[in-house]
Structure 1
C-alpha cells in the first residue's frame, strides 16, 4: 500500500510516566513527544510507537467498547522488532526488569527471537534473521 506513509502503533497504558520511562530505557532514546495524554517514539522514518493512558482513550471510545483497564495484564498485542543484535536487546530488557516470556531461541520461521512483557502485559519480541 503505497498510500500509507507512516505507521503509528499506540499502546494503552495504566501509567503513562512509568511506561514512558520503561520504553525510553528499552529503546535507549528519549520520547519525541511527551505531553499529558500521549507519548511518542519515532522508531524509524515510517514507524512510531505511542503510549496513551487507558483513561484518555476511554474518553474517546466512550461506551462503544469495554474500558481498556479491564484488559490490564492480558496480552493485547505484540510488538515485533527486528534488531541488529538480539543478545544486546535481551540483556537490556532483563536489566530493566521486563518480564521474560521466552529467552533467545531460533524459531522455525527463520528468526532468532526473545519475548518479554512490558508493564501492561503487552508482548515485545526482539528478533534477528539467522
Structure 2
C-alpha cells in the first residue's frame, strides 16, 4: 500500500477532485518531492483502470518503479501501459486508438509541448479527451 507524505496526500486529494470536475489535473511540485508516487497512488486506487503513462525515457520510469517497489515492500502496479514521448510521436492513429486509457499521466508534462513530441501528445489527448 502506498502511504503518501502529507503534502502529497493533499495534492492527490485535490487532483482527484479536479479529475471528477474537469477530467484534468496537474501536480506542480519541485523535483524529488514524490510526484510519481502521487501518480502511482492513482494506479493503486484504480486497479481495474488502464493508466497510460508517458515519460521521457524507459530508464526514468523503471527507476520510479524501483523506488516504488522499495518504498512499499513490493507493490508493482499492473495497470500501466507505458510509452516514451518519442515512441508516442511515431505511433499511428490506429495504434493510439488501441490504447483505451482511463487515465493519462504526462510525466514531466512541461516537455510534452516539445516540437516533435507535441504531435503525438496532441493526437493522444484528442483521441481521449
Greater strand share, structure number: 1
Is the shorter-chain TM-score for this pair beyond 0.5, marking a shared fold?
no
- Larger RCO: Structure 1 or Structure 2 (Cα < 8 Å, ≥ 6 residues apart)? 2
**Higher CA-based Rg:** 1
TM-score w.r.t. length of structure 1: 0.31
